Amino acid sequence: MIIAVASGKGGTGKTTVSTNLALSIGKVQFLDCDVEEPNANIFLHAKLEEQEDVSVRIPEIDKEKCDYCGKCSEFCAYNALAVVPHNVLVFPELCHSCGGCELVCPRGAVRWNKRTIGVVEHGQAEGIDFYHGLLNVGEMQAVPVIKALKRKIDKNKHVIIDVPPGTSCPVIESITGSDYCILVTEPTPFGLHDLKLAVEVVKHLAIPFGVVINRDGIGDDKVVTFCQDQDIPILLKIPERKEIAHLYSKGIALAHESHEWHEMFALVFHRIQDEVST
């Protein structure tokens, strides 16, 4: 079973939920797909022993064949190509490697180079098979790194995916193919607003989902009311407590420190199992 842990906004406690869930289940595979700012390993403490580059294809123009007709730049929706007199400018950071410029070029002047945009690192932590991706500084495209991460999925294990925040392309790529999605929110107006956006995404993708409310007690009950009105299961409420924040600030997972929380996250997993199997 693949469980994605997502949120409509950053800072809601998504990594708290995903890491504690993994530690409570044990012997799972964990993918940190928040490749622009991965931080799950702060809590899992995996010893990273393997690393591989993630590359994308970037067009290179053969100037002996090119007649500067401009069809490649006209086709490119991302403005990664610009044709000027006697030259074609390529902007690698904008290119999505779709291959369209090669298809429309009437003279076969497009060839390809590889450009490294990030890495995937692998390690082990307490029986957890851990992977995370790191997008190179200055790069804008997280999706190729996320795709490289998801190719590591072991179908013989339960998989926990820590999803990037928001509802953009990296989020869609991360949660697609999951059996269940946990949406982490907080009981505030901002939390409710972004939860509604995330709910629309998982509904569109037809993925079963439930909600975890983090920092319960700081706001109002409008998130609970919304979930009740929409018949969305509330899987867990994590209260706003100083001791929880203190553990978080030291990189200590709740499931490590408290048997009670270990059991509570394990119950969340079993509830998800039951819901997916029915």
Domain ranges for the chain: 2-54+117-277, 56-115
Residue ranges, the chain, pLDDT below 70: none
- Token digits of residue 119: 């890495």
- Indicate the helix (H) or strand (E) that contains 198: helix 189-204
pLDDT of residue 8: 87
Q: Which of 251, 54, 52, 44 is nearest to 129 (CA)?
A: 44
Provide CATH code, domain 56-115.
Answer: 3.30.70.20
The model's pTM? 0.94
- Indicate the helix (H) or strand (E) that contains 81: strand 81-84
Measured CA angle at 228 (ends 272, 158), to 5 deg: 10
The secondary structure of residue 1, as a DSSP letter, is -
pLDDT of residue 9: 86
pLDDT of residue 200: 97
pLDDT of residue 107: 97
pLDDT of residue 278: 80
| CATH fold label, 2-54+117-277 | Rossmann fold (3.40.50)
